[in-house]
Amino acid sequence: MYDIIIIGCGPAGMTAAIYAARANKKVLILEKETIGGQMSSAPLIENYPGYKNISGSELATNMFDQMIDLGVDFELEEVNEIIGGPLKKVVTDDNIYETKSVIITTGSKYRKLGLENEDNLIGKGIHFCTSCDGIFFKDKIVAIIGGGNSAVINALTMSDICTKVYIIQNLDKLTAEDILIDKLKQKENVEIITGACVKQIIGDDNLDSVVVETNGKENKIKLDGMFISIGLTPQSEIVKDILKVNKYGYIESNNCVTDLEGVFVAGDCRDKAFRQITIATSDGTVAATEAINYLNNK
């Protein structure tokens, strides 16, 4: 029996676990893939207080080690179902856990372009994580799809090892922070293409090229690799039948408290205006504090 089970081991989940453990609660955190969530794939983080720059994987490891040192239990299992009630049950592929409360921190997953042939070439030239797969494209030509902070950071990272980097944005301008855009514009091997949409992905066993439409004209760009950086979709499938979600699938809450007693939510799966690592850790703090108060007042 646990006091709190946290589903998802990203920055929100690990922060919640740290706060709950420090309040002497028995905590289990469940993760289906890898610690850190989307944060772990960030090649460089420069806006997290206390670090001038740090990789996402290193920051995730620091958080994880702190959490484990406090006595938090961790299991690598996928959650299939949450059964409500005074004592809640969390059902995984391997176990059924009982808990007094649950914090949902399942985060988000990479959004795809939705084009024909895309799924066939994922891992065969089409990727999402430059820190994971970027090294395979040293001295090659790549494209980054997107124009926000993640896309521009990925373009900057790849510009250091690639002969040519295209950054392709469907809007008429990049939407990243100005300081990042300024850095990108200083890179001689980066070509910024705005107002452009990828219309076709070409390749059999590996990515060969993409067809990009700009101002009604189509242009074929030869590529060795492509990194899609167009945002995320919430991973809320396991709770959509028991919790309220908005039209985009984000879980609705009031100060991280859901409408189901004893169930809380934090991080990128929650309906909110902004999504940053610092906001995820703030969410984790709030959700844990609400859960602790809930347990103490029972």
Name the architecture of domain 2-109+232-296. Answer: 3-Layer(bba) Sandwich (3.50)
225 Rama sector, left if φ>0, alpha if ψ -120 to 50, beta otherwise = beta
Residue 133: predicted pLDDT: 86
DSSP string, 57-121: HHHHHHHHHHHHHTT-EEEE--EEEEE-SSSEEEEESS-EEEEEEEEE---EEEPP---TTHHHH
Place of tokens 């991080």: 267
- Annotated domain spans of the chain: 2-109+232-296, 118-228
Q: Which amino acid is at 220?
A: K
pLDDT tens, position by position, for the chain (298 residues)? 999 999 999 999 999 999 999 999 999 999 999 999 988 877 788 889 999 999 999 999 999 999 999 999 999 999 999 999 999 999 999 999 999 999 999 999 889 999 999 999 998 999 998 877 899 999 999 999 999 999 999 999 999 999 999 999 999 999 999 999 999 999 999 999 999 999 999 999 999 999 999 999 999 999 999 999 998 899 999 998 899 999 999 999 999 999 999 999 999 999 998 888 999 999 999 999 999 999 999 8
Place of tokens 């646990």: 2
Helices 11-22 and 277-296 pack at an angle, to 10 degrees, of 40
Place of tokens 């609400």: 290
Residues with Cβ < 8 Å from 180, sequence gap 6 or more?
Answer: 149, 152, 153, 156
Look at residue 36 and give its three-state secondary structure: coil
Same-fold call for 2-109+232-296 versus 118-228? yes
Q: Which amino acid is at 274?
A: F
Using alpha carbons, list the distances in angstroms from residue 49 to 9, 206, 277.
20, 40, 10
Farthest-apart Cα atoms in the chain, separation: 64
Report residue 165: phi and psi, to 5°: -130, 125
For the sheet containing 207-214, what is the strand order? Answer: 196-203, 207-214, 217-222
Residue 231: predicted pLDDT: 84
Residue 104: predicted pLDDT: 98
Q: Which amino acid is at 22?
A: R
Residue 174: predicted pLDDT: 98
CB 124 within 8 A of CB 113: no
Residue 195: predicted pLDDT: 97
Model pTM above 0.85:
no
Beta bridge partners of 219: 212
Residue 110: predicted pLDDT: 86
Torsion, Cα 243 249 254 258, to 10 degrees, reads 20
CB 111 within 8 A of CB 233: yes
The CATH number of 118-228, from 3.40.50.1100, 3.60.20.30, 3.30.70.260, 3.50.50.60, is: 3.50.50.60
Residue 67: predicted pLDDT: 98
